[in-house]
Homo-oligomer: A and B are copies of this chain.
């Protein structure tokens, strides 16, 4: 069993709890972030912490630690748990609100779990997605609110798909837990500019891709996506994962594309450089 850090203690996982009056339980109110470790080293930690502190600030959640203290706790937890290939989740709940509605000082929770890697089959052959008309509340914030994402899982499974892409007013946005990219017929890499979470893997892909093709962050219609040469998703756990079918329609020739593979290689090379 892993150690969990909560407020100022390290506790065994089964003992880490929040009172039922916490605003997360009462109002689904809180923020989090999630990053990986490789060889017990956190990947791109500063990027994730930037986003975490920004999410908390935007939702008016004050934190019991500053950035340096949070880093120290993260490294201490990594040392105690010794799970070299892991995912670490930092959560700041809305806290114990005096009126049950106004955000207070957040309860800070840090959890570490072994990483469940994406199956080789999915990496090799790509995944199938469906679409759903929806946009997250405050998309720039990584809030804990995944009511729609969790609720849609039944539809995803019924349609034998792997994930669901949110579409709003005919513009594509993001998956519940991942960003989307497409290569158009002109050989340009596109990703939605607006109403998406600024994913860290997305950020790295945007930095790396110009080595091999032109890149733009723009509004993208569902129609454009259906006519893409290649589509892939990016996320911390999935890194770069090809999407080969959407709403029952094949993308390109229905197989992962060459640019997707090349970007995956560039991204994993960047990871290697980072942990050295």
- Chain A residues in the interface with B (C-beta under 8 A): 4, 6, 13-14, 16-30, 59-60, 91, 93-94, 101-103, 109, 111, 134, 137-138, 143-151, 153-154
Contact = CB atoms under 8 A, between A and B. Distances in A.
B23 A25 contact: no
Contacts of A134: 137
A144 B13 CA distance: 24
Contacts of A111: 20-21
Please tell me how many copies of the chain the complex holds: 2
Contacts of A22: 25
Nearest to A101: B150
A101 to B, nearest CB: 6
Nearest to A60: B154
B30 A25 contact: yes
B91 A25 contact: yes
Given A20-B91, A28-B146, A143-B147, 17 more contacts: A16-B20, A17-B19, A18-B18, A20-B111, A23-B150, A25-B93, A28-B28, A28-B145, A28-B147, A29-B147, A29-B150, A94-B150, A102-B150, A137-B147, A137-B148, A137-B151, A138-B147
A17 B59 CA distance: 23
